[in-house]
Amino acid sequence: MAKDSSSNEKYSVVIIGGGPAGIATALTLNALGISNCVVDAQASPNRKYGEALPPNAKPVLKQLGIQSLVEHNNHLSYYGNQTSWGSNQMNTKEFISELHGSGYLLDRLFFENQLWEYYRTQNGKIFNGFKVKEIEKKGHGHGIVLNSHNNNIHLSSDFIVDATGRKASISQKLGAVKKELDTQFAMTFTLELNKPITRNIIIESVPNGWWYASPNSNQTLTLMFFTLKKMIPKKGEVNDFVEKEMKSSTTISNFLNASKLKETEVKIIPAGTSRLDQPYGSNWVAVGDAACAYDPISSYGITSALASGYYAGQAIASHLSGKKEAMISYRYIIENAFQAYCEKLINHYREEKQWSESYYWKNRFSDKN
Ligand SMILES: Cc1cc2nc3c(=O)[nH]c(=O)nc-3n(C[C@H](O)[C@H](O)[C@H](O)COP(=O)(O)OP(=O)(O)OC[C@H]3O[C@@H](n4cnc5c(N)ncnc54)[C@H](O)[C@@H]3O)c2cc1C
């Protein structure tokens, strides 16, 4: 039987999930003087996927007071994208002429640790290594039971934030329905490089999906192959599949002579578009991937997680001060952004017409479906 800790701590807002969205919400609430805590199932941040932070992330980083975190030497400057899409020509887009200059190639695990550390220096409380066992209605707010290794902690709050990422597990527990728009998966692994390469991201479409390559600071390269669930190979066939897909490319195939890939090093993870039917309900709101998860082709994920955390923090503060329309405004902001993203995404995939008969492109928002 789990041992009940005697503490019954009260916070105005309990944020479940300590990724970029959860920490951005917590920092915003802190700045507004609203008591809050973060709960994360991991004892310390785990390795997340996605390291490209485009230049347009800079305003939200500044707004949250965390611009200096990404300027640490562990992160690289990111100068642009090399893209082969819609033709076999490789086109380079440099960020130099853009309003915000270069972006960042994050050391993602280091960044997640920086976020926790920074929140703690702002007197933030993280219940790390705790899962949510129960949520019940308590007055106008919620009673929450956390559990870790047979130890229960009881919290009460006026408001809950679901920042659990793509799983959106808290919103679903509270009655929201998650809608998956597609079944895209990423097959991701790291290769050692035998010589340095430019700090650009490479994106290359191939008949069965598309490749993404991003250089890391330790002379390694993160590679991801994006395809649909139905095309994912069985266990034991992953290596051959990945090598075949690398050979089907023009630029990515140049990295084939890097060190031999071990199957266990290929991680297969969901990487499509999803959203909740309602991003908020009675004294709860979803932020980041929990509210809307984006296709990584967009590079929206981290920026949008930070921005939705910022807007949700502002909306919660207004809501708690009696302005009930605040959550409607939050919903409007994130649903409008999601709608604009969907239109751009569909048009972007439709630009690729070289393999319109292949399963991936036929089922990827083509004119035929
Ligand atoms: C293959 C791939 C490539 C990507 N590439 C990029 C990219 O290049 N650039 C980009 O900007 N974005 C990219 N993304 C997206 C980006 O990583 C996410 O959008 C971002 O991490 C979302 O932040 P979040 O805080 O909403 O969720 P997460 O970062 O997923 O954080 C959720 C947190 O909640 C915790 N948690 C989950 N369930 C519970 C629970 N029940 N109780 C307590 N804690 C819980 C987890 O431990 C985790 O810390 C990529 C995504 C994928 C899948």
Domains and CATH numbers, the chain: 184-270 (3.30.9.100)
CA-closest residue to ligand 1 atom 37: 164
Give me the mean pLDDT over the 123-130 stretch.
96
> How far apart are the C-alpha atoms of 29 and 33, rounded to whole Å?
6
Q: Which atom of ligand 1 is nearest to the CA of 170?
A: 41
- pLDDT of 285 > 90? The answer is yes
- Residue 186, ligand 1, Cβ within 6 A: yes
Between the CA of 294 and the centroid of ligand 1 the distance, in Å, is 11
* 311, amino acid identity: Y
Residues 347/341, Cβ–Cβ less than 8 Å: no
Binding site membership of 173 for ligand 1 (Cβ less than 6 Å): no
- Average pLDDT on 334-344 reads 95
Alpha carbon of 22 to ligand 1 centroid (Å): 10
Q: How confident is the model at residue 264 (pLDDT cuts 50, 70, 90)?
A: low
Judged against a pLDDT cut of 70, whether residue 1 lies above it is answered with no
Residue 313 CA to residue 346 CA, distance in Å, equals 31
Taking 3-state DSSP, the helix, strand and coil percentages for the chain, each rounded to the nearest 5, stand at 35, 30, 35
Q: What is the DSSP string of 172-206?
A: HHTT--EEE---EEEEEEEEE-SS---SEEEEEEE
| Smallest CA separation from ligand 1 atom 4, residue | 50
User: How big is the CA angle at 40 (ends 110 and 263), to the nearest 5 degrees?
Assistant: 60
Chain centroid, CA 82 distance in Å: 22
User: Which residue among 25, 27, 48 has the greatest number of ligand 1 atoms within 8 angstroms of its CB, and so is best to mutate?
Assistant: 48
The DSSP call for residue 67 is H
Q: Greater confidence, 142 or 96? A: 142
The answer to whether the beta carbons of residues 21 and 163 sit under 8 Å apart is yes
| Average confidence (pLDDT) over 216-236 | 90
Calculate the alpha carbon distances from 16 to 168, 178, 214 in Å: 10, 17, 30
pLDDT of residue 216: 83
Residue 313 has pLDDT above 70, yes or no: yes
pLDDT of 139 reads: 85
Place of tokens 């993203």: 341
Residue-level pLDDT at 254: 87
Q: Which of 352, 246, 238 is nearest to 297 (CA)?
A: 352
Which residues have C-beta within 8 Å of that of residue 258, sequence separation ≥ 6?
Answer: 191, 192, 193, 194, 221
For residues 210-229, give the mean pLDDT: 90
Atom of ligand 1 lying closest to residue 57 CA: 11
CA-closest residue to ligand 1 atom 30? 165
End-to-end alpha-carbon separation of the chain, Å? 53
pLDDT value at 273 more than 90: yes
What residue's CA is closest to ligand 1, atom 29? 19
DSSP state of 335: H
- Cα–Cα distance between 361 and 323 in angstroms, integer? 46
Would you state the pLDDT for residue 259?
Answer: 59
Percent of the chain clearing pLDDT 70 (strictly above): 95
- The Cα 348–Cα 152 span in angstroms is 48
Q: From CA 369, how far away is CA 359, in angstroms rounded?
A: 12
Cβ of 74 closer than 6 Å to ligand 1, yes or no, is no
Cβ–Cβ < 8 Å for 69, 315: no
Question: Per-residue pLDDT for 332 more than 70?
Answer: yes
Q: Which atom of ligand 1 sits closest to the CA of residue 21? A: 25
Structure tokens at 208: 């069965």
123: left (phi over 0), alpha (psi -120 to 50) or beta: left
**Residue-level pLDDT at 148:** 93
Q: Which two tokens stand for residue 360?
A: 């991936």
pLDDT value, residue 8: 82
Q: How far is the CA of 30 from the centre of ligand 1 (A)?
A: 22
pLDDT of 369 strictly over 80 = no
46: Cα separation from own chain's centroid: 13
Distance 20 CA to ligand 1 centre (A): 7
Q: Can you tell me the mean pLDDT for 88-106? A: 84
What is the predicted pLDDT for the residue at 261? 63
Of ligand 1's atoms, which has the minimum distance to the CA of residue 289?
A: 26
What value does the mean pLDDT take over residues 133-145? 92
The pick from 40, 131, 146 for probing ligand 1's pocket by mutation, whose C-beta has the most ligand atoms within 8 angstroms, reads: 40
- Specify the ligand 1 atom closest to the Cα of 24: 25
Atom 17 in ligand 1: residue holding the nearest Cα: 50
Better-predicted residue by pLDDT, 277 or 191:
277
Q: Does 327 sit in the ligand 1 pocket, CB within 6 Å?
A: no
Q: How many angstroms does the Cα of residue 115 sit away from the middle of ligand 1?
A: 13
Place of tokens 């805590």: 37
Closest CA to 37 of 140, 137, 158, 148: 158
**Pocket perturbation via mutation, ligand 1, pick of 164, 273, 276 by most ligand atoms within 8 A of CB:** 164
- With beta carbons less than 8 A apart as the criterion, state whether 292 and 274 touch: yes
pLDDT of residue 293: 97
96: pLDDT confidence band, cut at 50, 70 and 90?
Answer: confident
Give the whole-angstrom CA distance, residue 16 versus residue 30: 16
**58-67, 231-240, 327-336, range with the lowest pLDDT:** 231-240
Mean pLDDT of all residues in 55-80: 94
Give yes or no for residue 269 CB within 6 A of ligand 1.
yes
Determine the distance separating the centroid of ligand 1 and the alpha carbon of 299, expressed in angstroms.
Answer: 13
Does residue 197 have a pLDDT over 80? no
Strand pairing partners for 161?
15, 285
- The tokens describing 103, both together, are 């972006």
pLDDT for position 100: 78
131-138 vs 280-281, strand pairing mode: unpaired
Percent of the chain at pLDDT > 90 equals: 77
Is residue 162 predicted with pLDDT exceeding 80?
yes
